[in-house]
Structure 1
Amino acid sequence: MSKPEDLTDRLEKLYTGAVHDVLRAMGHGNCVLPNEIKSLDPARKLAGEVYTVSGHIDQSRDPHDTLVQWTGLLSAAPPGKVLVCQPNTHMVALMGELSAETLHYKKVRGYVVDGGCRDTEFILKIGFPVFCSFTTPADIVARWVPDRFGEPVTIGTVTIRTGDYILGDRDGLVVLPAAIARDVVNRTEEVVSTENRVRTAILDGMDPQQAYLKFGKF
């Protein structure tokens, strides 16, 4: 059996539209994260196995305590995974330059948050993939703490579990449940191959409707 990183490499070569179509056909159409969550760098894709974290606003904590909790979150992030965070707030940034550089150094593949980010220019220079809902200068100090690691989180209408896979590109983010991720990638590779044949046929002069009827894909 191939390793998880092999599946990640294959997934990264695909695109979210095709993966979504396969998931929908398999009865898993509720797989797309809210469209306000976008990449800081639209040209940068993100793919990999998920590790989840969640947290909440707690303004009773002092700055030291919140930073101890935050650095603990960074320590817990496993190399080779995509960190997916449900912070349960849109008050503060849940990623910044030093944190992004730390995760990048640890070889975490990227970060997805249903919330804010700051230090955008620095993160873009680092080249660490971040998908977020908005940017703000406000940080987590004395405001926010993590509360669960590796447990299911819900973003929009999609429940995401550690071990699931995620793919992000210019169009957004799609989640592949762990139990079917390999099958989804296999089927999507077949879809992309068929789409390439359709494209070639049309560019060679075939009528688009005839191409659809011949290949069953458009």
Structure 2
Amino acid sequence: MHTVEHDVDRPDSDVVAAFEDVPSTIVSDVTGNIGLTMDSGVRPAYDGVEMAGTAVTVNASPGDNLIIHKAITMTEPGDVLVIDCNGYTETGHIGELMCTSCQANGLAGIIIDGAYRDSREIAEMEFPVYGRGVNPQGPLKQDPGSINVTVACGGVSVDPGDIVIGDDDGVAVIPPEGAEDVLERSRAKLDSEDSVREEVLEGEYLYELNGYDELFDNLTIVGPEDSIQ
């Protein structure tokens, strides 16, 4: 069954824009590493990428991009296309012309759990693209799919309207209902790291500043003499 849902409940644009200055690592830290960051196989198309936007989700048949073309026409400026191709990397589902169209219409980026092509051109245009691989093989245009349904991308469940941020380290997904709390904790974490950085520059060790020494002292240390012979 294929579903095309036109309405997306988008979060406040000011909240989305505020996440532009929040690294994906900080989101992971303040959310307790509970699976809001995509797996390491989803990588940016170039170095220095920065992205923050609202998810428009696509479930596409592996090897086919007809539904992706349709989804592009349904986006608004500031959206990020999050495309589930079931990790298929034997076809380049999107390329430079599609990315040019997205950029011209104000999209914030594309994330595809699958492959893309025209990697050099995409890098040169500096349009944020994340994918699982690169393949020159062109896609078919014969299978429908679904737009704005829950998808799995990079091992993370993504709903339309989720806030998506990306940088060189990877991609993080923030559900809108808890976004302001995540943003507040992220800012506090960044301020804390600024203070800690000053102490580290003075020669202090994170091992002691963060209390890791106490954790270590509570461990049961096993030496060679304790090994099973």
Alignment TM-score, normalising by the size of structure 2: 0.79
Question: How big is the shift at 1:207?
Answer: 4.9
Q: Is the 8 A contact 2:54 2:161 kept in 1?
A: yes
Cα deviations across residues 17-47 of structure 1 (Å, max 9, x unaligned)?
11101111xxx61112121110001211211
Structure 1 segment 51-200 matched on structure 2, within 5 A = 51-57=56-62, 69-88=67-86, 89-142=88-141, 145-200=143-198
Question: Secondary structure at the residue paired with 1:76?
Answer: coil
Q: Is the 8 A contact 1:86 1:114 kept in 2?
A: yes
Q: Is the 8 A contact 2:58 2:68 kept in 1?
A: no
- CA distance in structure 1 between the partners assigned to 2:202 and 2:158 by the alignment: 43
Question: How big is the shift at 1:8?
Answer: 2.3
Cα deviations across residues 139-169 of structure 1 (Å, max 9, x unaligned)?
2134x64411111001243210011111211
Cα deviations across residues 124-151 of structure 1 (Å, max 9, x unaligned)?
2222100000001112134x64411111
- CA distance in structure 2 between the partners assigned to 1:91 and 1:208 by the alignment: 44
> Size of the alignment, in residue pairs?
200
Q: Is the 8 A contact 1:57 1:145 kept in 2?
A: no
Question: How big is the shift at 1:178?
Answer: 1.7
In the alignment, what sits opposite 2:22?
14
- CA distance in structure 2 between the partners assigned to 1:10 and 1:70 by the alignment: 28
Cα deviations across residues 176-206 of structure 1 (Å, max 9, x unaligned)?
1121112101110100001101111232354
Query: Higher Cα Rg: structure 1 or 2?
Result: 2
Q: Which amino acid aligns with 1:7?
A: V
Question: How big is the shift at 1:57?
Answer: 4.1
Question: Secondary structure at the residue paired with 2:94?
Answer: coil
Structure 1 pair 87/77, CA: closer, same or farther in 2 (3 Å)? farther
The one of 198, 203, 212 aligned to 2:210: 212
Q: Which has the higher helix share?
A: 1
Q: Is the 8 A contact 1:46 1:169 kept in 2?
A: yes
Structure 1 pair 179/4, CA: closer, same or farther in 2 (3 Å)? same
Q: Is the 8 A contact 1:73 1:146 kept in 2?
A: no
Question: How big is the shift at 1:90?
Answer: 2.9
Structure 1 pair 129/189, CA: closer, same or farther in 2 (3 Å)? same
Structure 1 pair 150/70, CA: closer, same or farther in 2 (3 Å)? closer
Gaps of at least 5 residues in structure 2 are 1-10, 212-229
The one of 34, 38, 41 aligned to 1:33: 38
- CA distance in structure 1 between the partners assigned to 2:105 and 2:131 by the alignment: 20
Q: Is the 8 A contact 1:115 1:133 kept in 2?
A: yes
- CA distance in structure 2 between the partners assigned to 1:153 and 1:54 by the alignment: 6
Question: Secondary structure at the residue paired with 1:133?
Answer: strand
C-alpha RMSD over aligned residues: 2.1
Identity score, percent: 25
